[in-house]
Amino acid sequence: MSRFVRLCEAASPTGDEREIADLVRAELESFGLEVAEDDAAVPAGAGAGNLLTRIPGRPRPDGSDPGYLMFCAHLDTVPHDGPIEVVLDEEGIYRSGGDTILGADNKAAVAVLMEMAARAVAEPPAVGLELLFTVAEEQGLRGAAAFDRSKLRSEMGYVLDHATDIGDVIIAAPTHIGIRAEFHGSEAHAGLVPESGRSAIAAAARAIAEMELGRLDEESTANIGVISGGTSGNVIPGHCLVVGEARSIDPERVTGVIAEMTDAMVWSASEAGVEVDITTEKHFTGYRVEEDSRSLALAEAALSARGHLPRRITTGGGSDASVFRARDMDCLLLANGTYANHTLDENVPRENLVEMLEICEAIVELAGAEDQC
C-alpha cells in the first residue's frame, strides 16, 4: 500500500508526467524488467512517453509460448493545486488529506499493475503480461492514440479505469465529437449607436437556445460548456467563442446531433448578420463489446470466481479502451472501485486495491487454463 501512496503523492497532471514516469520506470527496473518509453510525449502533449514492460509467461506443457495479455493504466491526473497528501481513514478508505484530488484515477490501477509485475517476476504467470502505462489520457486519450499498436504482442487486453463498483464491466462507450464556433460581428458603442453593431454574443445565444442539450436519450448527450466574448459592458460584442460537444454510442446519432448544432449556429449567424467559423473534431470513437468477446468472458468468469456478480453497463466517457478497440483489439474496460474521481472527495477503499489485483491475477490464470484446453 505504500506504493499506492507514493504514486498518488507524485504530482502528474497531464503534460507533467515526467516524475511519475521516472518513478514507475525505476521501480519496474528494480524488479529486473526492461521498460521501453516511446516517443509519444510530443504528439500527445505530455511530459513523458508511454511506458511498456513485458513479462513472459510460463511455457505450456507442450513447450509452446502461452502468448500475452495487456493490462493498461494511465499515469496522468486532472490538474490540482498544491501537493497531494494521502490519508487512510478509520474505515480503511484512502482520501486526500487536503484540498486536492487523491489521484486514485488512475494510480489505483498503476499500483495494481506494478504489483502484478512484482509477482510475475517472482513466479512466471500463466500467460505473458504486457503492462502499458499511458500518458495524457485525461485530455483526449492522446497518449494511447500516439502509441504504436504494433509494439504489442497481445491480441486482448484490459483497461482498469472506471469509477464504479468492482464487478462492473463496460460493454459500450460513446463516440465523442467536439464543436467549436467563433462568431464575428461588429463592435459599436452600446449606448450611442447600438444600431451600428452586430452582436456576436446575441447570435451565439440564439443558436444555443435552438439546440437540444443535456440527456437526449439513453445513449446520447449534448452540451455547450464554454461561451466567451465581448470586451466591456458598453460595447456591442464583435466576437464570441462557443465550445461544446456531443456523445452517443450510436455513431450516426452523434453525427446527426453535431449537424443539428452546426445548423443552429449557421442559421443564427445568418439571421443576425454576423459570420461564424465552425470546426468539429472527433476525440474518440465509440464501441459495443461483442457478445462473444473473449475478454468479456474471461473477466466475468474471474469476477464470479472472486465472488462478484458481474454487471454489464454502458458509460458516457472515454478511456484508453476506446482507442484500442478502434484498432481492432479485444479490449475491455473494467471498473476498479474508485469513487468521486476528479473531485476533492475522490477516494478508494484499501480493500478494493487488493481485490482488483486478485481479479487481474484470476483473469491471467483463467486465460492460461483456457489456452491449455
Residues annotated as part of the active site = 76, 137
CA distance 145 to 232: 41
Nearby residues of 62 by Cβ (< 8 Å), 6 or more positions away: none
Burial class (CB in 10 A: 0-12, 13-18, 19+), 91: exposed
Nearest to 238 by CA among 281, 193, 182: 182
Contact 137, 77 (CB under 8 A): no
Contact 144, 323 (CB under 8 A): yes
Q: Which three cell numbers stand for residue 296?
A: 468479456
Helix axes 104-122, 18-30, angle to 10 degrees: 20
Question: In Å, how far are 1, 84, 212, 281 from 75, measured between CA atoms?
Answer: 17, 15, 36, 25
CA distance 326 to 149: 11
Helix (H) or strand (E) holding 259: helix 251-272
Peptide linkage before 106 cis (omega within 30 of 0): yes
Q: Which residues face 184 on adjacent strands?
A: 239, 275
CA distance 54 to 130: 5
Q: Which residues face 71 on adjacent strands?
A: 131, 158
Q: How many residues make up the chain in this entry? A: 373
Vertex 147: Cα angle to 145 and 150 (nearest 5): 120
With cell 501512496, the residue in question is 5
CA distance 248 to 288: 11
With cell 459495443, the residue in question is 288
